[in-house]
């Protein structure tokens, strides 16, 4: 008994000590966060953009949360654009130095940052770019600069866009684990990766047209900035004209090659700093904290911006996935808030649950009866992401937005073959003809498949009807351009799937105009749980995050993404309004 008492006392003492240490840590961080972050923008400073963290449309950071920087590694596109706009009129900021290497952002996000940099230059300030290696997306961003430089032994990756689709049919046959697929009958390429080991001609055609359209936008933008014709840019891409620094300079992709110290000397020269003096850099992450205290748009009247980003899975939702909880609550708050005169829904989603998509769509209908509601599409607004978008009064998309994919399907895991191989047999007993549910361990019955097919067809018809009414198009016309096909923003506008090409700011201006506003501020929704709240609610989440990091480092990013994608399939419930395959354009 004495041993047990001592053991319990030791455990209790350890827990108390742990809580004291944790408490002191958070008290210390709160004190640190309650004072100025110590960043001072000196005269003749250069704002340094590196973009080492992943970029989301919105991180939902609470400016009053002293722990926000500790728990959120991502950057919000909204705060990046705001910081660049504030820097444009900051007398202490003389220019921007762009030194990113591997930008973790979508094409639409990249284009928005690029436009912000071009606008920054309109103030008469400079934007300079330098890198050791330019991945294609980074080079596209860098061409917003006045001058673009590369390490003398670096590389420019400029060869055109490509994408890769993985196929799992043979894997299913070998493992005994397969996905039972129920889909709308007219599909050409829906859920093809589970049904074939090769890409169909129809699927290859639609993907080729999609990335060709996006590439055309990129080429046109670069052509304007670098004063190279689109035809010549395509020749450079076809001949790999940037594969060596010498070729890249000769072809006009670069202004020259410089070691980083030489590049710093060039920056000093541009702002009149002596070679022996230090250059005053301000990191973007630090400047975001300063810029966050300044409001570009002010006014008692507000335009609410609601962010819906990630796969549509249901539940409360968060910064990584869409649930009806946070989005519906945000819509209600925006409608009920008397100072909010218009609403903008920002969508960046490949889709997901058809049920959750329809719940959000219905709330959109109710909201726009009260206030103007404009929709802005980001990197992707496909299937369920597009579904909720058609609930708005007006839709904006970036030219590079992956749009459409109007279609539904269902995938259900089945391990019958694996169970048979390892000697597992499942028996079910029920009271009625249909009381026995689907079993993962038995082949799918015809009756169950018929019921699921009926549900798929009904959901697809509902989807067509939602688009037809939202876009004021005949159902037959919608059906022609549906079938799960994806389009670029440019093609989506030509087909009538979106109203205008433009970014989030364009959508905000349109919403304000619809409400008759001249002076107005912005109110953002939703607010996600702070890192501290999430930590206290789920300590295991920290352990899981550490585990994910270790796995990613061991097997590599690409293999980890495949594992993550396969894991995501097991979370799908019910009929899916989602892109039937994953596109990673590079």
In sequence order, the 6+-apart residues with CB closer than 8 A to the CB of 543 are none
Of 383, 405, 488, 530, the catalytic one is 383
DSSP assignment of 418-434, as one string? HHHHHT-------SSTT
Helix axes 446-471, 354-368, angle to 10 degrees: 20
Burial of 42 (0-12, 13-18, 19+ CB in 10 A): exposed
Closest CA to 92 of 38, 41, 37: 41
DSSP assignment of 82-117, as one string? HHHHHHHT-TTEEEEEE--SS--S-HHHHHHHHHHH
Buried b (16+ CB within 10 A) or exposed e, 198-237: ebeeebeebbeebbebbbbbbbebbbebbebeeeebeebb
Q: What is the DSSP letter of 398?
A: -
Closest CA to 120 of 90, 75, 150: 90
Of 115, 169, 188, 333, the catalytic one is 188
Structure tokens at 314: 């249901």
Closest CA to 400 of 105, 80, 76, 53: 105
- d(CA 546, CA 76) in angstroms, rounded, equals 23
In sequence order, the 6+-apart residues with CB closer than 8 A to the CB of 353 are 312, 313, 314, 384, 572, 573, 574, 575, 576, 577
Helix (H, G, I), strand (E, B) or coil at 154: strand
- d(CA 311, CA 572) in angstroms, rounded, equals 10
Going by their DSSP bridges, the two strands 302-309 and 409-414 should be labelled as unpaired
- d(CA 460, CA 148) in angstroms, rounded, equals 49
Structure tokens at 418: 């694996």
In sequence order, the 6+-apart residues with CB closer than 8 A to the CB of 576 are 351, 352, 353, 354, 383, 384, 408, 409, 410, 411
Q: List 150's β-bridge partners, or say none.
A: 131, 257
- d(CA 504, CA 242) in angstroms, rounded, equals 33
- d(CA 265, CA 495) in angstroms, rounded, equals 51
Structure tokens at 476: 């037959």
Helix (H, G, I), strand (E, B) or coil at 283: strand
Structure tokens at 437: 């549910």
Structure tokens at 343: 């609403």
Query: Which residue reads 């933008």 in tokens?
Result: 221
Catalytic-residue membership of 189: no
Degrees (nearest 5) of the Cα angle 576, 581, 585? 135
In contact, 131 and 100? CB cutoff 8 Å: yes
Going by their DSSP bridges, the two strands 178-183 and 126-134 should be labelled as unpaired
Structure tokens at 205: 């055609």
First to last CA, the chain: 66
Catalytic-residue membership of 368: no
Active site residues: 188, 383
């Amino acid at each position: 008994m004495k041993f047990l008492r001592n053991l319990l006392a030791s455990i209790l003492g350890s827990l108390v000590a742990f809580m004291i240490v944790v408490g002191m840590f958070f008290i210390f961080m709160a004190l640190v966060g309650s004072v100025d972050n110590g960043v001072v923008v000196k005269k003749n400073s250069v704002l340094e953009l590196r973009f080492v963290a992943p970029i989301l449309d919105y991180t939902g950071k609470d400016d009053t949360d002293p722990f926000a920087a500790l728990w959120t590694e991502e950057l919000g596109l909204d705060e990046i654009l705001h910081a660049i706009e504030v820097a444009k009129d900051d007398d202490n900021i003389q220019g921007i130095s762009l030194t990113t290497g591997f930008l973790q952002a979508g094409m639409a996000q990249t284009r928005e940052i690029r436009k912000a940099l071009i606008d920054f230059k309109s103030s008469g300030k400079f934007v300079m770019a330098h890198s050791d290696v330019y991945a294609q997306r980074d080079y596209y961003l860098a061409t917003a600069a006045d001058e673009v430089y590369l390490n003398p032994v670096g590389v420019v990756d400029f060869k055109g866009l490509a994408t890769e689709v993985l196929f799992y049919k043979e894997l299913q046959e070998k493992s005994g684990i397969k996905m039972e697929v129920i889909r709308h009958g007219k599909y050409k390429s829906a859920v093809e990766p589970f049904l074939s080991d090769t890409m169909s001609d129809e699927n290859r055609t639609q993907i080729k047209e999609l990335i060709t359209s996006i590439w055309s936008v990129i080429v046109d933008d670069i052509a304007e900035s670098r004063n190279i014709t689109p035809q010549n840019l395509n020749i450079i891409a076809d001949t790999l004209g940037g594969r060596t620094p010498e070729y890249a300079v000769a072809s006009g992709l670069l202004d020259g090659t410089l070691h980083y110290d030489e590049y710093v000397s060039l920056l000093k020269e541009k702002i009149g700093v002596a070679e022996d003096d230090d250059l005053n850099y301000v990191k973007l992450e630090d400047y975001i904290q300063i810029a966050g205290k300044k409001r570009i748009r002010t006014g008692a009247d507000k335009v609410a911006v609601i962010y819906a980003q990630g796969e549509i899975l249901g539940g409360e939702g968060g910064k990584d996935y869409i649930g009806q909880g946070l989005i519906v609550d945000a819509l209600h708050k925006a409608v009920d808030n008397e100072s909010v005169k218009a609403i903008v829904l920002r969508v960046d989603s490949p889709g997901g649950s058809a049920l959750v998509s329809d719940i959000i769509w219905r709330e959109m209908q109710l909201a726009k009866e009260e206030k103007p509601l404009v929709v802005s599409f980001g990197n992707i607004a496909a299937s369920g992401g597009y579904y909720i978008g058609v609930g708005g009064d007006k839709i904006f998309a970036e030219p590079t937005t992956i749009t459409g994919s109007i279609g539904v399907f269902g995938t259900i895991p089945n391990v019958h073959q694996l169970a048979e191989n390892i000697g597992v047999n499942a028996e079910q007993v029920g009271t009625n003809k249909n009381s026995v549910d689907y079993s993962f361990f038995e082949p799918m019955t015809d009756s169950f498949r018929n019921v699921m097919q009926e549900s798929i067809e009904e959901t697809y018809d509902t989807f067509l009807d939602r688009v037809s009414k939202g876009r004021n198009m005949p159902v037959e016309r919608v059906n022609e351009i549906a079938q799960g096909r994806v389009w670029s923003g440019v093609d989506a506008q030509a087909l009538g799937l979106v109203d205008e090409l433009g970014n989030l700011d364009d959508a905000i201006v349109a919403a304000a105009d619809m409400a008759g506003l001249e002076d107005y501020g912005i109110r953002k929704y939703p607010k996600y749980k702070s890192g501290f709240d999430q930590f206290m609610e789920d300590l295991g989440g920290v352990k899981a995050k550490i585990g994910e990091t270790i796995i990613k480092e061991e097997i590599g990013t690409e293999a980890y993404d495949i594992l993550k994608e396969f894991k995501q399939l097991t979370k799908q419930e019910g009929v899916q309004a989602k892109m039937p395959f994953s596109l990673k354009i590079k």
